[in-house]
Amino acid sequence: MAIKHGKQTYMLSKKIYINETAAIVGPREKDGPLGKYFDQSEREDFGEDTWEKGEAHYVNATFNKLMSKIDVDTEKIDCIFSGDLLNQCMASAIGLKNSGVPYLGLYGACSTMVESMLCASLCIDGGGMTNAVAITSSNFCSAEKQYRFPMELGCQRTPTAQWTVTASGAVYLSSQKSGAPADMKPYINAVTTGKIENYKINDVNNMGAVMAPACASTIISHLNDLSRQPDYYDMILTGDLGETGSNLLCDILRMHDINIEDKHQDCGKLIFDSVRQGTKAGGSGCGCAAAVFTSYIYELLKTLQIHHLLFVATGALISPVMVKQNEDLLGIAHAVSIEI
């Protein structure tokens, strides 16, 4: 069983292998710097008559893509851990309603990809599960409609605003390594649970500032709990802080004498060429960290270009109603340590 270290971190007793991944993205993501790494690209609406149904279609297609890439029957999947940004997590529920697999719904805003990998890892390590799928999604159009303004208004965006990624990403996690015996697969060996952080920020166009303190807190806890230095990792990958949040993260960590600048990458910065694509501070949404990790980063791991990865997905626990009621916007970040 897992062993708790410090206040928030669990060292797993098993290697939880990331045996396979799948990512399906929208046209803007396909056109971005990581375009060639994704399994498939589709229209924003994926041929459906609403954006919400389109997002659910992304989830469904990504799950099916993952299952087609692995030689495992859905009967062998013990549980799906899933969530998204839509009200009542409808993209996950609709997208997976025909899977026939036990389903645990999660909500961690944009931190959901790592939250689901974390929960799945703990449940596989000691909870009696063997195989699980973690999957999340987001969609630019359904998110704009729900969180910001009707698409038809064509509203301008502030420089700190982020662009919700249209994508779904999925990982197949197992305590058993798949493939030939000589194949190397990345595995999760430690997880760090996040706490809600409140820096009393209420600018809804600056999610990076909401999430950066939570991200810093989780990274500090992770390093302290395991007595590790940032040097332990080849890459510290944050979910979707974007340009503004990434700068803030490095600033906050520097105040704690932690320097991660030479190994820090952010999924929100990686997925778009923000100057050419006009995506302001970068990508965001559950699908951002999910799609970047399951494509480009997974490739870096498999090809041994990185051996030790700390993957920290960050979420802004906000709702439009909270914003209207002048509540502080809250941040959270969960982390998984991945090695190969």
Instruction: Please report how many Cα atoms fall inside a 13 Å half-sphere around the Cα of residue 55, on the Cβ side.
Output: 30
Distance separating alpha carbons of residues 319 and 323, to the nearest angstrom:
7
128 near a second copy (CB under 8 A): yes
Q: x/- site string to a second copy, residues 194 to 223, per CB under 8 A?
A: xxx-x-------------------------
Q: x/- site string to a second copy, residues 152 to 191, per CB under 8 A?
A: ----------------------------------------
25 near a second copy (CB under 8 A): no
Q: Which is nearer to a second copy, 270 or 289 (CB)?
A: 289
β-sheet bridge partners, residue 167: 25, 138
Q: Minimum distance from CB of 215 to a second copy (Å)?
A: 15
Q: Which of 33, 127, 151, 160 binds a second copy (CB under 8 A)?
A: 127
287 near a second copy (CB under 8 A): no
Q: Which of 32, 54, 108, 208 binds a second copy (CB under 8 A)?
A: 108
Q: Residue 236 phi/psi, 5° resolution?
A: -110, 110
Distances in whole angstroms, Cα of residue 21 to Cα of each of 37, 266, 293:
11, 19, 9
104 near a second copy (CB under 8 A): yes
CB 212 within 8 A of CB 194: no
* The token pair that represents 107 in the structure block: 């909500």
33 near a second copy (CB under 8 A): no
**Length of the chain measured in residues:** 340
141 near a second copy (CB under 8 A): no
The DSSP code for 87 is G
* The token pair that represents 216 in the structure block: 């810093």
Q: Which is nearer to a second copy, 104 or 151 (CB)?
A: 104
Q: Which of 40, 43, 71, 100 binds a second copy (CB under 8 A)?
A: 100
Distance separating alpha carbons of residues 255 and 156, to the nearest angstrom:
34
Distance separating alpha carbons of residues 165 and 180, to the nearest angstrom:
34
303 near a second copy (CB under 8 A): no
88 near a second copy (CB under 8 A): yes
Q: Quick one: which of 103, 129, 63 has its CA closest to 294?
A: 63
* Beta strands 197-201 and 329-339, pairing class: antiparallel
Contacting residues toward a second copy, per CB under 8 A? 1-4, 7-8, 10-11, 50, 52-53, 75, 78-79, 83, 85-90, 93-94, 96-109, 115, 118-119, 122-123, 125-130, 193-196, 198, 317-322, 325, 327-328, 330, 332, 334
